[in-house]
Each structure stands twice: as structure tokens, then as C-alpha cells.
Amino acid sequence: MNDDKLMIGGHEFESRFILGSGKYSMSLIEAAVKDAGAEIITLSVRRANTKDQENILDFIPEGVTLLPNTSGARNAQEAVRIARLARELGCGSFVKIEIMRDSKYLLPDNQETIKATEILANEGFVVMPYMYPDLNAARDLVNAGAAAVMPLASPIGSNKGLATKDFIQILIDEIDLPIIVDAGIGRPSQACEAMEMGAAAIMANTALATAGDLPMMASAFRSAIEAGRKAYLAGLGRVLTRGASASDPLTGFLRD
Amino acid sequence: MVKINGKTEAAAGMTVDQYLETANYDSKRIVVERNEEILPREQYSETILRDGDVVEIISFMGGG
């Protein structure tokens, strides 16, 4: 397992759990990062607060890679604008592209996402696009220079789990980039299942932010993701289409 | 008047540095966009805000 690394845009990570930082107190971030074992944390880019308010950067442990998102963008142009601002903040060149035209379901606009990916990859960003799991769009993202592909499991913040399971599996099977399941994962068991399928990593935010004990849930997700990864690497046992197969030797002694 | 983060402010004539100081922003934790163009940090002290400028002062927040 020790040489099993997650590679994104030439950067190497041990952890396969990408942590969100939205919708919970900044004071919990350090414990969440530690208990999640996370090496990447997502952030949003917004109008600044003044000095009298806390700044999130003061709460993120050193060495954690920042992954700013472009939430709020409704088209490629706005996403590019947000990404450039994020890079100017001086915390690296990773960006998670998030483009939504729809405020009810918050579904990503794949076409605009492909356009933004191409522009930002050409500018040297490590581009991680959030997308609706569609094979053709994923192939276009690869060609546009994405460093990973982040399909949604179910709508953002819904905690509904792997509603798009079959389509994520197609991406895992066909796309030669890390497939990171993002959005909708609500329980550790769902994260584990996605990892068993061969997902490269899991991104979760709401599942933790709405849990009773956030750091403990971060730790539960970490264990689930590690278990799912090990199961994937081990190769799952086969499933019978019908009937049974004894696990014990069939050479009984009670009857001849 | 200058529009800064959506609010109209009487900041015309001030340098960006002066405005950030007066309005109590931490200049190390923000990025300034003026009329949709990023203003490089080293230009804060020499850039004078003009009437009609639209300025965004941006930083990181929590997000997923």
C-alpha cells in the first residue's frame, strides 16, 4: 500500500480523501484535516472580510494543498476569472472548476466546464473539473488538459450517495485520469463503495458538516476510503448469478 | 465614487494601499481586481482609484 499514491497533475498524495471546508466553523478545520488524514482541502473564492474577522488560511495546517473552487461561476468566462483571482492569492495553481447555470439542482454545465478546463490548463493550472458523469464530456475534459475528473454522485449537499453509480463506473473503466467522486456522498459506506469500484479519491463536505460529530465523521470516512481502496487493489471476489457455493469442504462425515 | 465589493465608496483619489489600510483589509490575504483586471500587488501603492472604477477585493472562504 505504501507505494500506492494518488497522482494529480504531477503532484503525489498519500491520502485519497479531499476535504471540503464549507458550512462549518473554521475552528473545526484543523481537527477535521487531522482526523480525515486529508492532504487537499477545497475553498471558495469570495469578497473578502476585513481584518477584524477570521481568515480561513489561519486555520488550515501547513503542508495541506489548497484546492480553490470556482463556485458562483455560471459560464466558462466567470470560472476563468475566479481561477485567476485564486492563483493570485498565492497558494498554488490547483483549481476545481465548478460551473452551474441551475440554482435549484446545482448541476454542473459540462460544456462550459470543458471550455474553462482548456483555457486554464493552457495557463498552467492543475485543473480538476467537477462534472456530470458523461463519458463523452469526460473524454473532452481529458483532451482539454484536465488533471483529474470529478463526477457527481448525486446533487451537491444532498447526502444521497451513489445515484450515478453505473455512469461513474464507465468513467473509471474508460478514462485514464484519476476519477474523484465529488458531491452527494453522504455516508462512509458510500465512499467505501465508490473506492471499491476503483475511484481514485472521494471529496466530501456536507456529509461532515451536517454530521453530529464532525472530526469523528472525518475519521470514519478516512477508514472507509482506505478500506475501499484496499478492497479495490485486492480485487473483489466474484458474485454468483444464482445458487450457492459452499465455503466449507464438502467431505462431511455424518453420512456416507 | 468608486464601487468596491458592491458598495459605493468615496475612495476616488486614494491609492489602493491607502484604501485597504483605511478599510482595514489584510493586504497579504486578498487580491484586488480593478475593472475586471487583476491588480498586481506591487502596484497597490502607485494605483490611484478613479471615479467610476469597479473594484473587487477577494479572498478565500470555506467551500466544497
Concatenated DSSP letters of A148-216: -BEEBSSSTT-----TTHHHHHHHHHH-SS-BEEES---SHHHHHHHHHTT-SEEEESHHHHTSSSHHH
Annotation: CATH topology of B2-59: Ubiquitin-like (UB roll) (3.10.20)
Exposure on the CB side of residue A215, measured as CA atoms within 13 A: 11
- CB neighbours of residue A94 within 10 Å: 23
SS3 (DSSP) at A231: helix
Min Cα distance B50 → chain A (Å) is 20
Q: Which residues of A are catalytic?
A: 96
Check if A45 contacts B (Cβ < 8 Å): yes
Nearest residue of A to residue B36, measured between CA atoms? A81
The pLDDT assigned to A1 comes to 55
Give pLDDT, residue A232: 98
Neighboring chain A residues of B58 at a CB cutoff of 8 Å? 45-48, 85, 89
CB-closest option in B6, B31, B56 to A89: B31
Q: Does B42 touch chain A (CB under 8 A)?
A: no
- A179-194 burial: b if 16+ Cβ within 10 Å, else e: bbbbbbbbbbebbbbb
- Delimit the domains of chain B by residue range: 2-59
User: Cβ separation of B62 and A21 shorter than 8 Å?
Assistant: yes
Q: Is A143 an interface residue toward B (CB < 8 Å)?
A: no
Q: What is the DSSP letter of B44?
A: T
Could you list the pLDDT tens digit for every one of the 256 residues in chain A? 578 999 999 999 999 999 999 999 998 999 999 999 999 999 999 999 999 999 999 999 999 999 999 999 999 999 999 999 999 998 899 999 999 998 899 999 999 999 999 999 999 999 999 999 999 999 999 999 999 999 999 999 999 999 999 999 999 999 999 999 999 999 999 999 999 999 999 999 999 999 999 999 999 999 999 999 999 999 999 999 999 998 988 777 887 6
Nearest-angstrom CA–CA distance, A183 and A204: 7
Q: For A41, which residue in chain B has the nearest alpha carbon?
A: B64
DSSP H stretches of helix in A38-150: 76-88, 110-122, 135-144
B7 touches chain A (CB under 8 A): no
B57 and A42 within 8 Å at the Cβ level: the answer is no
**What is the model's pLDDT at position A252?**
79
pTM higher than 0.80 for the full model? yes
- The whole-number pLDDT of residue A43 equals 97
Decide if A121 contacts A95 (C-beta within 8 A).
no
Contact criterion met (CB below 8 Å) for A68 and A43: yes
